[in-house]
Amino acid sequence: MTLEEISVQDLNPEAFIKEKGDEISSAVGQGVAVNALSGGVDSSAVTMLGHRALGERLKTYFIDSGLMREGEADHIIALFEDLGVPVEKINAQNAFFDALKGVVDPEEKREAVTHTFYAIVFADLAKRCGTKYVLQGTNYTDVEETVAGIKRQHNIIEQLGIDPEEQYGYRILEPLIALRKPAIRALGKTLGLPEELYRRPPFPGPALAARVIGEVTPERVETVRRATSIVEEKLADTGAFQYLAILHQDRVTGIRDGKRDYGLQIEVRCWESEDAKTGSPTRLPFDLLEELSQSITDQVSGVVSVTYNITGKPPSTIEAL
Ligand code: XMP
């Protein structure tokens, strides 16, 4: 890989903002660019960077894929409204669930999400706004893991030899591509993001689809969405790098109201990591694990088993897909 990383120690955020802002302005000229905001650190930082460079000529959208967390769209849109950045919500739930219907293989699932984002949703938005530019927060780790063949990160296009202009009809601007998470957090802080955003734990591009093993249906996403809310609430004070819930495909025998219940299994993961490249499970107190299990089995319909992942990355990865 010829791309050179800029580490958090080497990053001068003000100079970086100026340099990348100039690059965005000169690429886009007097026209407009579009970008999708998910509320993650990367897309939030790139939205602020693009907004500084282009002002109202950056059209920012929150894509409601049906795969996001509870209340996420409205919360993020409100935070950006406070920052003076208008964000429009686009309902694309049907497009994503149609593409995911019957898909169980992890890489095919990632491909279905990628294809829906780029070939359907972004292509439509770019056409609607009359632009050839999509601004996106691809980071160094995304490129590295995709090129190494570990996982196809949802946002990697050109590094796989795909020409987005030929394939989808627009160019992709990726100003954060030389940075990893710690540098993007530092940049986000300088760009004026609230702490809640620049400190946000990472969340995968394929969203909750990356946390459903087996078919991704609206019902199965709802199960993992509920479990995710509980895990995020209970583990928020751990200071861990990332914590998540996964819905397994296999069912296991459990007991409910004195009767056999062949139910669902949720796996909880909680990670210590610097940059997601490697990681180790957090040594959570057993009382907290029991509390998590109790809340999930009480509040998430159909769940009879909760497990905690105790394997590091490698050989595990942070997400299940
Ligand atoms: P893995 O599962 O590869 O995850 O150990 C490493 C980090 O990347 C996040 N992740 C993604 N981020 N698009 C993203 O933008 C993706 O397709 C994707 N898949 C995983 C993951 O949450 C972790 O922080």
The pair of three-digit structure tokens given for residue 292, joined into one six-digit string:
């998590």
Contact residues of ligand 1, CB 6 A cut-off: 142, 145, 151, 153-155, 202, 204-206, 210, 242, 276, 313, 317-319
Which atom of ligand 1 is the closest one to the Cα of 202?
Answer: 24
Comparing CA positions, the residue from 167, 120, 162, 132 lying closest to residue 34 is 132
Q: pLDDT at position 152, please?
A: 81
pLDDT > 70 fraction of the chain, expressed in percent and rounded: 100
Rounded average pLDDT over 75-84: 98
The rounded distance, in Å, linking the Cα atoms of 21 and 44 is 15
Query: Mind listing the pLDDT tens digit for each residue in 27-49?
Result: 999 999 999 999 999 999 999 99
Under 8 Å between Cβ of 43 and 61: no
Atom 6, ligand 1: residue with shortest CA distance:
276
CA of 145 to the centre of ligand 1 (A): 9
Share of the chain above pLDDT 90, in %: 90
**Of 42, 44, 153, 155, which is best to mutate to test ligand 1, by the most ligand atoms within 8 angstroms of its C-beta?**
153
Q: What is the pLDDT of residue 190?
A: 98
* Minimum-distance ligand 1 atom for the alpha carbon of 42: 15
Residue 189 confidence (pLDDT): 98
Burial of 162 (0-12, 13-18, 19+ CB in 10 A): middle
Please give the model's pTM, rounded to 2 decimal places: 0.93
Tens digit of each residue's pLDDT (9 = 90 or more) over 137-179: 999 988 988 888 888 888 888 888 889 999 999 999 999 999 9
Q: Which atom of ligand 1 is nearest to the CA of 205?
A: 13
Q: What is the mean pLDDT of residues 7-32?
A: 97
* Three-state SS at 292: helix
**Is residue 1 pLDDT above 70, yes or no?**
no
Residue 2: predicted pLDDT: 73
Tell me the backbone φ, ψ of residue 74, rounded to 5 degrees.
Answer: -65, -40
DSSP string, 40-67: SHHHHHHHHHHHHHHGGGEEEEEEE-S-
Q: Closest residue (by CA) to atom 21 of ligand 1?
A: 204
Handedness of CA 290, 296, 301, 303 (dihedral sign): negative
CA of 255 to the centre of ligand 1 (A): 35
Question: Which amino acid makes up residue 207?
Answer: A
Q: 179 in helix, strand or coil?
A: coil
Residue closest via CA to ligand 1's atom 11 equals 204
Computed on alpha carbons and rounded to an integer, the radius of gyration of the chain in Å comes to 20
SS3 208: helix
Nearest to 185 by CA among 269, 274, 245, 79: 274
Q: What is the pLDDT of residues 202-230, one digit of tens each?
A: 999 899 999 999 999 999 999 999 999 99
Taking only the tens place, the pLDDT of each residue in 269-279 is: 999 998 788 99
